[in-house]
Chains A and B, each alone.
Chain A
Amino acid sequence: MSLPRHNYDPRRVCINPFPNISLGKHRRTVGIYLAGGLFALANWTFLDAAILSAHAHPPFDDPQLPPPVHVTFVDWIPGICSLLGMIIVNLIDKDRVRGEDGMGDAAAVWRARLVLFIGFALMAGGLAGSVTVLILKYIIHHYQEQYTYYGYANVSQNVALMLSAIVLWISQSSGGEYEYSLSI
């Protein structure tokens, strides 16, 4: 490390290992396409589990017992919570949350932050709920791997929904304020 760093800040403790990706002009477009793709992927992952559950049958050389567990409405609840949270988070005006530019009164900023908190809480609650469903409904009953897949699909649905919301948030905040909106 004999060469001095490009932007060296002596106050900095850790060196940021993330590469400074700049897609330039198309960053917003790419981010939004990516967010939509993740959104569809999330919902199709869960729908795959639901359709598979509706068509489930044991392997043909086994005795033909009915499957012990199905995807019921309980499995749908975490996804619905995540979806509501994602909608709420993206409805918030992002300039209003910052509240430092002297725009708007303090009460509006407070309300915006409260609604944003509710949105993120819904998303986190959806993720936590999916993990809860995975453990309580599938893992502690020691089902076969064919059936625990429903729970894993539920968790991955919620993770992908959260990723989609994050990507959408980052890509919608315009270019110059990139570092700033990440620090909210």
Chain B
Amino acid sequence: MAAGIKTVILLSFVLAVGFLMIILSCALWSNWLPLLVAFTFVLAPLPNAIFSRCGSDDFSTEEGSGPVDLGRFITSIIVVTGFALPLVLAHSEVIAPTACGMSIVGGSLVYGTILAYTRTFRQDESDFD
């Protein structure tokens, strides 16, 4: 259990650093558009979480069904959107290039935290895989 507590503390620090980067990238230039990146990455695991309940059946051994695929597709779209949005904004000179880099790094830290958390503390599926 000690390892679990250490992991939780580490992940929360990484999450805080990620949000710090995003908020700094907004506040230093007083242009709050990069905050959309934070919303995007927080929203990213949501379709998988919703649609993974739809297709799971005890009898269907083959993986994948329509709703699960749709959830994965939307998740992938949202993740790429999170990376593409600051690049597009920086390309059209709405935000500064440094703000773009900071928000990308912060966003990937946030999303990496979410991924690592779900990977580490997955409970139900690990017995069967």
Residue numbers of A with Cβ under 8 A of B are 25, 28-29, 32-37, 39-41, 44, 47-48, 51-52, 54-55, 168, 172, 174
Contact = CB atoms under 8 A, between A and B. Distances in A.
A40 B91 contact: no
Interface string B90-102: 0111100000000
B69 A41 contact: no
B10 interface: no
26 contacts: A28-B64, A32-B72, A32-B73, A33-B76, A34-B76, A35-B73, A36-B75, A36-B80, A37-B77, A37-B79, A40-B76, A40-B79, A40-B84, A44-B81, A44-B84, A47-B88, A48-B84, A48-B87, A48-B88, A48-B91, A51-B88, A51-B89, A51-B91, A54-B92, A168-B73, A174-B62
A39 B79 CA distance: 11
B72 A48 contact: no
B80 A37 contact: yes
A140 B72 CA distance: 42
Interface residues of B, number: 23
Main secondary structure of the interface of B (DSSP, over half): helix
Contact of A44 (B64, B76, B88, B94): B88
Interface of B: 62-64, 69, 72-81, 84-85, 87-89, 91-94
Contacts of A47: 88
Contacts of A48: 84, 87-88, 91-92
B94 A35 contact: no
Contacts of B72: 29, 32-33, 36
A168 B63 CA distance: 15
Contacts of A174: 62
Given A28-B64, A32-B69, A33-B72, A41 B80 contact: yes
A169 B81 CA distance: 22
